[in-house]
Structures are given as C-alpha cells and as structure tokens.
Amino acid sequence: MKNTFGQSVSVTIYGESHGQAIGVVLDGLAPGISVDEDFIQSQLTLRRPSGSISTARQEPDPFQILSGVYEGKTTGTPISIMIPNSQTRSKDYSATRALARPGHADYTAYCKYHGFEDFRGGGHFSGRITAGLVAGGAIAISALKAKNILIGTHIKSCGNIQDREFQNLEEDIQALNQKSFAVLDEAKASEMHEKIIQTAERKDSIGGILETAVLNLPAGIGEPWFDTVEGLLSHALFSIPAVKGVQFGNAFDMVNGFGSEYNDNFRMQNNSVITETNHNAGINGGITNGMPILFQCAVKPTPSIYQAQNTVDFFKNENAVLEIKGRHDPAIIHRARVVVDSITALVLCDILAGRFGTDWLA
Amino acid sequence: MKNTFGQSVSVTIYGESHGQAIGVVLDGLAPGISVDEDFIQSQLTLRRPSGSISTARQEPDPFQILSGVYEGKTTGTPISIMIPNSQTRSKDYSATRALARPGHADYTAYCKYHGFEDFRGGGHFSGRITAGLVAGGAIAISALKAKNILIGTHIKSCGNIQDREFQNLEEDIQALNQKSFAVLDEAKASEMHEKIIQTAERKDSIGGILETAVLNLPAGIGEPWFDTVEGLLSHALFSIPAVKGVQFGNAFDMVNGFGSEYNDNFRMQNNSVITETNHNAGINGGITNGMPILFQCAVKPTPSIYQAQNTVDFFKNENAVLEIKGRHDPAIIHRARVVVDSITALVLCDILAGRFGTDWLA
Amino acid sequence: MKNTFGQSVSVTIYGESHGQAIGVVLDGLAPGISVDEDFIQSQLTLRRPSGSISTARQEPDPFQILSGVYEGKTTGTPISIMIPNSQTRSKDYSATRALARPGHADYTAYCKYHGFEDFRGGGHFSGRITAGLVAGGAIAISALKAKNILIGTHIKSCGNIQDREFQNLEEDIQALNQKSFAVLDEAKASEMHEKIIQTAERKDSIGGILETAVLNLPAGIGEPWFDTVEGLLSHALFSIPAVKGVQFGNAFDMVNGFGSEYNDNFRMQNNSVITETNHNAGINGGITNGMPILFQCAVKPTPSIYQAQNTVDFFKNENAVLEIKGRHDPAIIHRARVVVDSITALVLCDILAGRFGTDWLA
Amino acid sequence: MKNTFGQSVSVTIYGESHGQAIGVVLDGLAPGISVDEDFIQSQLTLRRPSGSISTARQEPDPFQILSGVYEGKTTGTPISIMIPNSQTRSKDYSATRALARPGHADYTAYCKYHGFEDFRGGGHFSGRITAGLVAGGAIAISALKAKNILIGTHIKSCGNIQDREFQNLEEDIQALNQKSFAVLDEAKASEMHEKIIQTAERKDSIGGILETAVLNLPAGIGEPWFDTVEGLLSHALFSIPAVKGVQFGNAFDMVNGFGSEYNDNFRMQNNSVITETNHNAGINGGITNGMPILFQCAVKPTPSIYQAQNTVDFFKNENAVLEIKGRHDPAIIHRARVVVDSITALVLCDILAGRFGTDWLA
C-alpha cells in the first residue's frame, strides 16, 4: 500500500500540484459523526500559502465532499473529499524540467518514476497534497474533540527563536487552536514573523520545531511492538515533506540524564494513576498511560530558495545552475502545524477504532 | 496487525521473558539466500546482557531454525527461528506483581491486558523479545551485504560522552561491525565504559544516541507519502523499548539553519549524481537519492534502576515504594545497537523486495 | 482496510448511488503505462444499464481522471478517477426508507451503520459503485494486454440456457471482448435475451454463471497459503453484489470424480511444461503453472424485482409489504461480466507487481 | 504479507513437512480467553491421517504452546504454538526430486522458488501445514463458542454419496462436533467409508463437498466491498490445498431460479428480524443479517494416487512416468473438515474483533 495509511481508519491521498484535482478518501470512521464543513474550510485555510509571509501561491482551496456524508453526518462509508486545482501555471516549469531543485524530490522522483512523473510544481510531491490530509484530518479532529480528546501544536522554535514552554496544556491548546500563527508567546510570534520577512528578503529560508500535545487519550492503547503509539505517529508524520526528525518528550536531551531523573514515578491523584513527571510523553512500552502525549517534529528549512544553486541536469547528466523565479514561501513551518494536527488525529482515530471497535468514535 | 511488520518481507515476533520460548517468523525473503548460523549466533551474543557491564541475566540464546532454510539457504517460505528461555526465575516477580516499575510498561500492560498479561520479567515487553528481531535481522543483514548494501551503527554518545563523527563511512562501518562495544574512538569507548561502571555503582542508569549509516542503497526506493524511507524506518525503530526519538541527519540541529546551508546541492561525480553535502541523509521526498542514509536514535536512560522509587500498586490503587533487587544493566545502549542494525536491515529488505520483486535479494 | 484492496497495486472505491460522485483511486501501477480513455469509456458503457434489457437507469457515466496520468501515460502515482452522479432522483426513496428490500442490503446496512447510511438508491451498496472498479480495471486490463496477458468472460449460463464451452481460448476471448452481450454462441445469446425479456414481463429476475479465462500468465505467481491465486481472486470477486459462489475449473463437478481423472498429468510441449488436461484451472498449490486460469462466478437472480414482497419495516419492527416501482433490470449478469474482467485484472496486476516489482507492468 | 492472514486477529503459519517443526502464531486475540489444551489436541487428532482410511503417515502431533498463554488463559499477546516433526523419512524423496506429481505443487513450487524449496514430502505445501491452522483455530473456536457462536461442518457428499441435508442446525452442529467422520446420516457415513476403502484398493482417490453452518453471529458484521464475509472466508478457505470452489448457500443451483424464489423475504419473529428462507446464507451485501451462515467447499479428489502417471522431469525438461510408493490416503475430505472449521473461526474472530474491538471476544 503506498498512498494509503491506517488499518481500522485509513486515509488515501492522490493528486499532483498541477493536475485536475487533489483529494482524500477517508475510510472506516464510525457512522454518525458530525461533519463541520466550516471547520474543514478553516483548517484548509490555515494550511494554504497566504498573507504577508507565504505568498508563493494563493489557492482558495474550495473542497467538495463527494461521498460518505449524508445530512451533515458521516455514513460510515468512505468519505471522499476533492479539492480542484485552479491555478495550474504549467508553462513555468518546462524550462527547468531536468534541473533537480536541491532539497526537493525532483531527482529522486525521476529515479523512481523514470521520467513519467508529472513534474509540474512538484507534482505528487508538492506540499499541496497535504491539503487532502488536512481536509480528512479536520473530520478526525472533530470526532476526537467530541470525545474530549484534544490536540494542539505550537511552533516551539523558528529560525532559532524559541516560544515559551507549554504551561497549562488545556488552556494552551485552546489558545493555539484560535491562532493562525501558532505561537504561545505573542512577542516571540512577532520576532519569528520578523525573522521570516528578513529571510525572505535574503531569498533564503528557515525551519523550526513543532511541538504537539494530545490530552485525554485513554490509557492502554497502542501496541508493545511495531504499532507503538510512537511508531505509528512517526510513520505518518514523516510524510510531511520537511519533517526529518520526531522525538517524544525531549528525547534527544533526555539521553544525557540519568534514569533516576527521567523515569516518571507513578502516583495516585484523585483515585487515578498519574506520573509525577512526563518525560516519557504519556507512553510506556508503546502504550498510553493516560498522561498527555507530547512530541516534536523537526522541520528543516524550506528547500525552496530563490538564490542561484548548483545542481545537475539529470537528463543530460551534467552540472548546471538553477535559479528559481517566483514568489517566496520562506518558512512553511507555520502551515505545517495544521498538517501535524491532522495526521495526529487520523492516526489516533485509527488506533482507537482498532482498539475499541468501529463505533467507538460515534 | 500487531506483532507483524512489513509487507513484502514481513517479520512476526512472539514470546514472553519467562515463557517457554521467544521467536520470530521471517517471511517473504527470496529463495537462495545463504544463511550463516554463526553470524546469527554472534549477533545474538552482541544483544544479550553480558560481561562486566550488563550482568543482569546471562542467557546463552541458543536458537533453532524450525523452517524456511534447507541445505544452508533460504527456501523462500517462512523462516521460523525459536530461542528457548532457559532461565525463568519466576518466583522473583510475584511479590511486586502490581507495583508499576517507573519508566516500564507494567502499568500500561495492565491497562491494555486487564491483568491477564504474563507480567514475569516484563513478559512480552521484555527487551529480550528483540532477540527474535536480531535473529531474523541477521539473515537480512547478510542478504543486503551480498548486494553490497552495508549497515553500521555507533554509539554516538553515552552518558554525555561523545564518540567522534563518522569519517570514512565504509571503513567505519567495517570497523564497527568487528566491535562488541560500537564506539569509533577507543579512548571514548573507555570513558563511556567507565561512566557506565560508575553509574551502576550509584544504582542509576544512563542513555545515549545511536547513529546508523547505510551505504549503497539504490536511488529511487521509498514512497513520497506514508511509506517514506524515514517513516518506515522510524515506525519499526520505535519498537526498541528505550528509543524515544529518531532523526535523519542532524534534523534537530538543522532546524536552526538556513535553506541555503542545508539544501544539499547536486553535482556530477564519475558520471553519477551525488550531493555535495548530505544533510538530508540520503533521502529527498521520502525516496533514496543514492547517498548514504544516516539516522540517529535517542535511547533514554535504562528504566531499570535499583534505587527506591515512588510508584503505585495498581491492584490496590494506592501509593507504594518499589526497590528492585537483582543484578544491574545500567546502559542498554551498547546492546540496542545490534537491534537497530537488525531492524534497519529488515525494513530495507521489505522496501527493496516491494520495489524490485521478491527475487531481487537472492 | 475496508474499501481498499490489494497490496502492491491497490484500489480504493467510494461513493453512493445518489451522492455527488462515485470513484476510484488506483495506486501502485507502474509509471509509463498507456491510458486509453476510449477503452475506459467503452468498458463503463458495457457496465451501465442500457438498451432493451436493462432500462432502469441510464447514466452516461462520463469520467474524469483527476490525477496519476500525464500526457497519456501513468505517472506511477495514484490514479484518481471520478464519475459524477447526474441522475439522483432522491425523492423516490423516502417513502420506503425502512422497508428492507428482500435480497438487498438495506437491513444489513441499517444493522451496521445504525441508520446513518445514505439509503437512497442502495447508497454505497449500489451496483453503480462497481463503475469505479471498471474504470480502474480498464487501465489494468490494458496494462496486462500489453504483456500479452488476456482476460475474457462469457455468460456460461443465464436463466438455465447454456452457452457453448470455451474452444479456442484465444479466439474466444478476442470475440468476447468485441461483444456487448458476452455469449459465444449467438443462437444461445438470442435465447437468453428472449428469456430476459420474458422474465421482465413477469416482473421477475434471473441469474446465471459467468466463466472467465486468463491466458499467458507466467508460471510461479501466487502463494501457497492465504494469498493463493484462488483466494485473492475470490476475495475480490465476492464484492460483486450478486456473486455468491466462485469455483475454479468445474470444481463442484470434479468432486464426484476420481484423482486418476482429474490430476492433470504434465507433458513437455515445444520445450515447455504443459498439462494434458486443465481441471485444476492453471493453479497448483495456489500458484500458477502456466496453463490458462479458468473460473466461474455464480450470479444469483437480481434481487430487484417488481412484485409485491413480504418484508419488515425495521424502524417500526413490524411486518410490511413492499412493491418496488420503476423500470426494470431483470438480469445484471451481462453487465457483471465487465466487472469480473476488471476485478480479475486488478488482482492480477497486484500479484504480478508484488512478484516481479513495481516496474514490471510498464 | 504471504503466510499471515487477518488484520485485527491474524494468523501466521510456517513449516515444511520434513523440517524441524511446523507452527502458528496467533495474534490479536483478546486477553482472558480460556485455552483448552485437550480440545486443541482433539482437533489436531481429527486432522491427522489415521485409522483404516488414511494411513499414509501417523504423526501424534504433540504441540507446545511457546507464548501468549499464562495460567490457562490468553494474555492478549501472540500465541505461538509449535508442532515438532517427528517422522521425517527424508530419503524417500530424493529419487523423484524433479518428477512433478500431477495435481500437486511440485512444479509450481519449482517455478516460484527456483529449486531452493524444501521439496521433501511436499515441503511448505504439505497438507500437514494446516495443523498450525487447526491448533490456532481451536482457540478461536472456543472463544466463539463462549459467545454462543457455533460452527459445524459435515461431509455433504463424498465420492458421489450424499449426506442428508441440515435439519435442526444447532442439534446437527452439536452432533457433528462429536464425530470423527462428520456425516449426519450414519448409513451414508458407512457408504462413504466403504467407497473410500474401495477407492484405496484401486490406488485411486476421491473428493467431495464440505458444508459448513455458523450460528448466532450478530447482524451487521462484514463490509460491503472487498472485505465481505463471503470474500474473507473464501480467501482463507482456498488455502486448503484441495479446495477449488466455495459457494454460499447453493449458489450454483440458485443461478437457475428466479428472484421471486430466492430473495429471502424478511419477517418479524419474536420481535427479531428473520428471513423466511435463507438462500442468501445469512449475508446480504457482504454483511451478516443474523441468519445462519452456510457455505460449501468443493474438495477435489486427493491428488496423491498410487498409479503410474505421466509427468515431466522439470530438471531435465523431458517426459517421465511417476509411480508413488507408500501408504495411501485416498480421501482427505474427512480431515479437511476440521481445517474448514478452524479457518472459519479464525476469520470470524478477525471480523468480530475489527468490528467490536479487541476485547469483545474475552
């Protein structure tokens, strides 16, 4: 299975940047879940390039639900959502057909698809394909929210500027889900914004870290081997084109400490089992323990930059220089955030439906 | 699917720490691959607790190939390898049955399996279960090596002591695969060893980072979405009980730089396409570009420590104190290294067989 | 996975009879396969109700390729084909909402989806959903044909009238693929046609047997257990709403004979291994032996009949009488034939790509 | 996935006829299910060749539960059951190494595995491998029985002698499950037995039809497409080496009737929805309707016969004559019956756990 993910709840995506349409088929969701089309649209809006920061391409992303929803609720059969491509400026791309953009998949696509790939605008590798995940993910987010399972992501760092740490997780998540630029500390948000503008002026790009929290998952979901909560989430999260690392808690810092510091002792609180700390990020042995899930995605600097770059012409097998023209999107991290939330929700719906049955989410 | 991973080449594991046996069924490998039983045994020896560092349990891990190998070669049908459990000191565990060891899966296992889990010695969550992966992985490593695809892992850091960086990858991999304590710089190896001994004396534990390199993979394998090389590897790697983070290249450092620094420009070299740098770790858009694959696993401090720890009794729902007796294994990272190699090999065999057909590995 | 089938080449279907659209996502096909839109359209035309026999609903089934095809060839990425629903006479259905049509899935859909199902016109259970399989299958049929793998299906019997047996398989297949009513003996075709008309006049329906042949498959594909060629084909074929039996060769007759009659002795012919007879239908131990694959699908009488029938109102839990109005489609068997061909092609592409790699079909 | 079947509850089999052992790993069963080792043994005894009819090989089939069962109950983790091979008369086979037994998989195995297959005694294709399915299936049968879901199979016909029809399903199932030769009418059983003996004397073999009933499945399980109850069951049932056809109800007879005869009108009975007839065998649109599931497997005449047969030497590519020596097993149908029950139980556990969650079967 290639463009399909999930067993009990599965998601299939398709499309190319400059084809007729992109889309998603979401299958296995319980019947009877309310579908909020405004929320889907608002999530799609968070994902698309826009405003003063990312102006490379403005696509309104109107979507059509082709199946699986009847009278505002899921039917239990596949939900097909199509997002037509309206701006398909195809002629921009032919001149640089065989010049591999550094950091992009042009060359690897050629190795895999032997030149038959639709190369225009990144084709099937375009970040635009994530819109399908966001549309499907919006329904998953709503379904989880109805079960009081909350997901929120902030830009923990961007261009080396740090947001504050999570404090009150529930309040922070609610605040983040009202923001289009998901930074907890507004002063830091301004600094990041400024840094992005400056970077754009230098025709360069930056990256950062997204940190996600999930609240109120029941204890006891996930598997000890292979389908650990960490494994399933990371598998899907690495689909986000710029994500190159996933850590739960602060794993890459935790490696320098001692077991006595990081073991997360258990305690009773209000007749429930909790842990005093949460370095293990809500997961022991691949399975949830009832504490919040916390993870971070490393988002590399956006590979699209507008400086001259050395590269090759892979048709001619010779060195070349590439200078991309066009408008600029120097930091996709603030848009990737909604993709992280979406993927997280889809994966969790899959795990929950597998554990508790197909009707549990209804 | 729970304890099975992989599509074209799949691996199924079973067993509990104190049951009759643990084992693995490896399915989908091409017929005609040479099976080196000595190499399987030597890999199992690298994994098991031993020597002056980890002395908690010494199990010789003799294995039996029950099926799938005939006259020293794979038949193409499932390879079943069983490793009997010989030391099953079951009486040690009953007194602390419901005292959740912090950092371990005792409590989450109880939430998932409702008390029916075989709790003795960690049961199905025991690190010992990875022996099945190591046995199966040894065959996968050999199959890849016959295709000149090389895998090597070093302890990049342990207890905050850093090994040197990879230099000549092929030489470094060959050197590592001769070592039982996989550190490139022998002076650093001694420091780490000393740190581990000191930590054991304090009844504490440490963790570290494992860094893996894979050479000579063909360009063009992996998928753009979901079954990215990063996604598949990380999915499986998070099965290693103490792994809490996976990054490709130095992703969590790369986030602070600029696109112009990290894009990995392409160049021709000896009529082949290479990249000048390799920050993207051999993968663009989820697909290999022919450069080395590089990734790091964050291994948390071993949760088994021998100090008194606060915890709960989850049968009685009350606070408790737990002090584990027994011998000490304060740093599993040097043993986890062979599990990383094994899982990497299994995942790559799956990707390669899916891409090029079931006979390609023969 | 629910509405997705196949591992190496997978097909995902969606849609309801009276929703916005139905469609298919076909993933994993090799890049570079020619896509013949006229052939897709002609296959869709064979499937849809039409002409003097089936006149219940005439939908022209125009389709749109949304992705995965570029300049007339497959790209290797998901092929999304959408077929809009144009005639959605929804008001016909509300009065009989909770009256289960005998032989149909109205009641079982209610049990599964708790009343949230889109019940209009059979919803997701409508035979119309097979149009997605036919559209995707058309591409698979073309890909196989380019490899000289030929598929043909005839109506072996309909309303107890028998077509002649297959004689020259290659000629028969070519002839069948030129016919809209796939009967080898034209006199028998006329009899069947007459029987269908008579049955329609009695407001009743009939069924029959479809027999399929596949030529020139390489020997050695399929698995000994679970993913046998028989198992994979039957799994998918039972998706055709009226198919209730699948046999390879004449299995239900063969049970009455002796091993000495049915063993299919091997012989050399032109330096190739053949069998003297082909009672095992080209498959030994789940794996192809190079002889033609032959199988039959039992197609029950179409459940839609226009007589008064006893039933229940499953909202009120009381007995009721249902008399369906509308135009009449008394024998779907002649349309099901193209669905059988399509499913067969999709399953074989999956098996072949899994065996020989993703590029083999190109 | 090749030797693994099922998603929520999966079964993995391994082994060769003359290797060290065969076995099964059963994963995903709920924790807390009672495991009756005597019942497992009695099921294995029903499967193995024995008594006056099948005397080819008498293997006592002692089994070992290696994992997944603790204090007599399932733990929820993989259940590994190994059955050692004790009689491995390997020298019998070398002389006829490349002489393809007609009706067997020797030649197709060679095409698939290129000569690396363990050919001794049928290797991985041996009917003996079904012992793993029977051992795992025994646990599944018990789990279903605890939920009042009953499975029973009779030899509907053997060598053209017909058993009586099912009458009182519950009583018939209970009676069948006490019989080693599963025929409802004892007089017919004697006739069949006599026919088998006569056939053995003629060094020939016969086949027959197995008919299975499943009672008390909840309505609403199964999927409308692909994972229909019919599709999932048939997929797995075709793994039984001699099964070449599967029909639900009397599908291949039903094709000759009218919709008005076969539609199974619904009625209320004791406040439950039933159907007046059950030609659709408890399944509408792929989903259970609460009525009994009924299906038939066509079992071809056992391919092992002891007459001289024409064949080829596939090493030398020349014609040959093969005469198999040894003891005789002229009708495997009475042993295949327990394999059908086992596979049916495994598939149903998978469907039920997927629908209602992993704990439902506990």
pLDDT of D53 > 60? The answer is no
- C49, C56 contact by CB (below 8 A): yes
Record: contact B251-A244, CB cut-off 8 A: yes
Record: contact D284-C108, CB cut-off 8 A: yes
Residue among D7, D357, D360 whose CB faces A7 most closely:
D7
Record: contact A300-B262, CB cut-off 8 A: yes
pLDDT of B118 > 80? The answer is yes
Q: Residue B143: which H helix or E strand, with range?
A: helix B130-146
Q: At what angle do helices B333-356 and B229-237 cross, to 10 degrees?
A: 140
Which of A244, A264, A347 to mutate: most B Cβ within 10 Å? A244
Query: What does the alpha-carbon distance between residue A35 and residue A138 come to, in Å, rounded to a whole number?
Result: 9
pLDDT at C255: 97
pLDDT at B21: 98
Query: What does the alpha-carbon distance between residue B305 and residue C200 come to, in Å, rounded to a whole number?
Result: 80
**Measured between beta carbons, which residues in chain C are less than 8 angstroms from residue A25?**
3, 12, 14, 25
Please report the residues numbered 83 through 112 in chain A whose beta carbons come closer than 8 angstroms to any beta carbon of chain D: none
R_g over Cα of chain B? 21
- D306, D247 contact by CB (below 8 A): no
How large is the average pLDDT for residues B86-109?
84
Residue among A4, A80, A117 whose CB faces C14 most closely:
A80
Confidence at B56, pLDDT banded by 50, 70, 90: very low
Record: contact A65-C23, CB cut-off 8 A: no
Confidence at B2, pLDDT banded by 50, 70, 90: very high
What digits encode the pLDDT tens for the residues C115-174? 999 999 999 999 999 999 999 999 999 999 999 999 999 999 999 999 999 999 999 999
pLDDT of D94 > 80? The answer is no
Q: What angle do CA D107, B6, B360 make, to 5 degrees?
A: 50
Confidence at D12, pLDDT banded by 50, 70, 90: very high
- A43, A345 contact by CB (below 8 A): no
Tokens of A280: 């293990």
* Amino acid at site B72: G
Record: contact C244-D223, CB cut-off 8 A: no
Mean confidence (pLDDT) of chain D: 94
What digits encode the pLDDT tens for the residues A150-174? 999 999 999 999 999 999 999 999 9
Query: What does the alpha-carbon distance between residue B242 and residue A130 come to, in Å, rounded to a whole number?
Result: 31
What digits encode the pLDDT tens for the residues B130-185? 999 999 999 999 999 999 999 999 999 999 999 999 999 999 999 999 999 999 99
Query: What does the alpha-carbon distance between residue A339 and residue B318 come to, in Å, rounded to a whole number?
Result: 41
ipTM (interface predicted TM): 0.97
Record: contact C252-D209, CB cut-off 8 A: yes
* A275: β partners: A266
What digits encode the pLDDT tens for the residues D138-148? 999 999 999 99
Pick the residue from chain C with its C-alpha nearest to A15: C67
B269–chain C nearest CA distance, Å: 27
**Measured between beta carbons, which residues in chain C are less than 8 angstroms from residue D279?**
300
* Amino acid at site A293: I
- A196, A330 contact by CB (below 8 A): yes
Residue among B7, B355, B358 whose CB faces C358 most closely:
B355
Hey, is the C-beta of C306 within 8 angstroms of any chain D C-beta? no
Please report the residues numbered 11 through 30 in chain D whose beta carbons come closer than 8 angstroms to any beta carbon of chain B: 12-16, 19-23, 25, 27-28
Residue among B13, B107, B234 whose CB faces A234 most closely:
B234
pLDDT at C335: 95
pLDDT at A53: 57
Locus of tokens 């074929």 = C237
Percent of chain D scoring above 70 in pLDDT: 94
Record: contact C263-D317, CB cut-off 8 A: no
Q: What is the 3-state secondary structure (H, E, C) of chain C?
A: CCCEECCCCEEEEEECCCCCEEEEEEECCCCCCECCHHHHHHHHHHHCCCCCCCCCCCCCCCCEEEECEECCEECCCCEEEEEECCCCCHHHCHHHCCECCCCCCHHHHHHHHCCCCCCHHHHHHCHHHHHHHHHHHHHHHHHHHHCCCEEEEEEEEECCEECCCCCCHHHHHHHHCCCCCCCCCHHHHHHHHHHHHHHHHCCCCECEEEEEEEECCCCCCCCCCCCCHHHHHHHHHCCCCCEEEEEECCHHHHCCCEHHHHCCCEEEECCEEEECCCCCCCEECCEECCCCEEEEEEECCCCCCCCEEEEEECCCCEEEEEECCCCCCCCCHHHHHHHHHHHHHHHHHHHHHHHHCCCCCC
**Measured between beta carbons, which residues in chain C are less than 8 angstroms from residue A359?**
114
Tokens of D24: 């099964």
Size of interface C-D (CB pairs under 8 A): 356
A4–chain D nearest CA distance, Å: 15
How large is the average pLDDT for residues D284-289?
98
Which chains have 3 or more CB–CB distances shorter than 8 Å to chain D?
A: A, B, C
Please report the residues numbered 49 through 78 in chain C whose beta carbons come closer than 8 angstroms to any beta carbon of chain D: none
Kindly give the confidence (pLDDT) of every residue in chain A, 362 residues in length, as a single tens digit, with 9 standing for 90 and above.
Answer: 799 999 999 999 999 999 999 999 999 999 999 999 999 999 999 998 765 555 444 556 799 999 999 999 999 999 999 999 986 655 666 788 999 999 999 999 999 999 999 999 999 999 999 999 999 999 999 999 999 999 999 999 999 999 999 999 999 999 999 999 999 999 999 999 999 999 999 999 999 999 999 999 999 999 999 999 999 999 999 999 999 999 999 999 999 999 999 999 999 999 999 999 999 999 999 999 999 999 999 999 999 999 999 999 999 999 999 998 876 678 899 999 999 999 999 999 999 999 999 999 99
- CA A244 remoteness from chain centre: 12
Hey, is the C-beta of A293 within 8 angstroms of any chain B C-beta? no
Pick the residue from chain A with its C-alpha nearest to D1: A1
Record: contact B76-D116, CB cut-off 8 A: yes
pLDDT at A101: 96
**Measured between beta carbons, which residues in chain B are less than 8 angstroms from residue A157?**
255-256
CA distances from A243 to A22, C166, D344 (A): 21, 57, 44
Sorted by sequence, the CB contacts under 8 Å of residue C5 that are 6+ apart come out as C11, C235, C236, C239, C346, C347, D225, D226
Query: What does the alpha-carbon distance between residue B35 and residue B28 come to, in Å, rounded to a whole number?
Result: 15
Sorted by sequence, the CB contacts under 8 Å of residue B201 that are 6+ apart come out as none
Domains of chain C: 4-356 (3.60.150.10)
D85–chain C nearest CA distance, Å: 19
Which of B4, B206, B238, B254 to mutate: most A Cβ within 10 Å? B238
Query: What does the alpha-carbon distance between residue A5 and residue C311 come to, in Å, rounded to a whole number?
Result: 40
**Measured between beta carbons, which residues in chain B are less than 8 angstroms from residue D77?**
3, 14, 16, 113, 117-118, 123-124
Tokens of D234: 């048939």
Query: What does the alpha-carbon distance between residue D9 and residue C168 come to, in Å, rounded to a whole number?
Result: 45
- B322, B309 contact by CB (below 8 A): yes
Counting as low any pLDDT under 50, the low residues of chain C are 55-57
Residue among A7, A224, A360 whose CB faces D357 most closely:
A360
CA distances from C143 to B244, C10, C34, C171, C360 (A): 45, 15, 8, 20, 10
Please report the residues numbered 213 through 232 in chain D whose beta carbons come closer than 8 angstroms to any beta carbon of chain C: 219-228, 230-232
pLDDT at C87: 64
CA distances from B9 to A306, B12, C37, C110 (A): 42, 10, 36, 40
Query: What does the alpha-carbon distance between residue D28 and residue D12 come to, in Å, rounded to a whole number?
Result: 12
Residue among A3, A251, A254 whose CB faces B226 most closely:
A3
**Measured between beta carbons, which residues in chain C are less than 8 angstroms from residue B356?**
357
Residue among D224, D355, D358 whose CB faces A355 most closely:
D358
Q: What is the largest CA-CA distance in chain B?
A: 70
Record: contact A354-D354, CB cut-off 8 A: yes
**Measured between beta carbons, which residues in chain A are less than 8 angstroms from residue D354?**
8, 354, 357-358
